[in-house]
Amino acid sequence: MKNMITLGEYIVKKQADYPTATGELSSLLSSIRLAAKVVNREINKAGLADIMGSVGSSNVQGEEQQKLDVYANERFKAALEARGEVCGMASEEEEDFVAFDSALSAHSKYVVLIDPLDGSSNIDVNVSVGTIFSIYRRVSEPGSPVRLDDFLQPGHRQVAAGYVVYGSSTMLVYTTGFGVNGFTYDPSIGCFCLSHENIRIPEEGKIYSINEGNYIKFPDGVKKYLKYCQERDEATHRPYTSRYIGSLVSDFHRNLLKGGIYIYPSGTNSPNGKLRLLYECNPMAFLVEQAGGKASDGFRRIMDIQPTALHQRTPYFVGSTRMVERAEGFMREFSAHEEVKE
């Protein structure tokens, strides 16, 4: 390949663009890159090794843990602690945050929130899964013990976020607040290489992604929006296409590249929505906004929500700007109708 740029080279190049950069964030991203390569290796041999299936226990949300959930969590934890650039980590797989107690870590500026293996139940049937990560500057004083409020920050304070999708190819997509770039893993050289520079999501898309099996429980605004998506109208290129994988990373990645909307509303088996604000919604919101899209809970910007708990859930509407705004319009309209009826 001509002029191929690896992720490591790209990180160094971007660091050089900012004379005040100290290299800590770059080193942190390199830790995530390394752990992603290790997890990718295990996923690719899942059918050959004893790493598929459940471990026979549940995580803090009461969801059955898969063997790869536990493996990925441990690999990312070890990689983040090793370089001393992170003072603590919060994970979807851990009940409480994890403090890194070494002298080096205690003086670091950053905390990481992570979903180590999103969609892990799909591993057994060879469907794409992913890792989602979010990076914040701590609010406590470096050198002091990391605290809960270091993690309970609104999404607009993120300094970086990204995901890895383990699919037909493995890609790492991230932002530091200056656009979104994607890197595809080349196993022949063991490197992530720049393949999708300055990703921009189309303002309008033709794909909607939602688990329609829960339709009867959806809020009226969501039901009406789905009917809108399914109506025939040549001027607006409807009906839209329904595409739902059941792995947030995979559905989000497709819609980011092609245009579309992903919805996980309230009113399902999870009354407040299933997705976690800190581990899934905020990082994807940061990415989509940097790519020109929008993320909402149906009424307000996701990244303006003040978290109150590590495992807080929220309804989620994310994707192409015009599609999310249209869905918000239906939510506002039929929410008002429901209030009048009451």
Q: Which residues carry a binding-site annotation for substrate?
A: 118-121, 211, 244, 274
Q: Which residues are annotated as a binding site?
A: 92, 115, 117-121, 211, 244, 274, 280
Rounded distance, CA 274 to CA 21, Å? Answer: 37
**Would you tell me the crossing angle of helices 7-16 and 24-44 to the nearest 10 degrees?**
170
Q: Which residues are annotated as a binding site for Mg(2+)?
A: 92, 115, 117-118, 280
Across-strand partners of 165?
130, 171
CA atoms within a 13 Å half-sphere pointing along the CA-CB vector of 49: 11
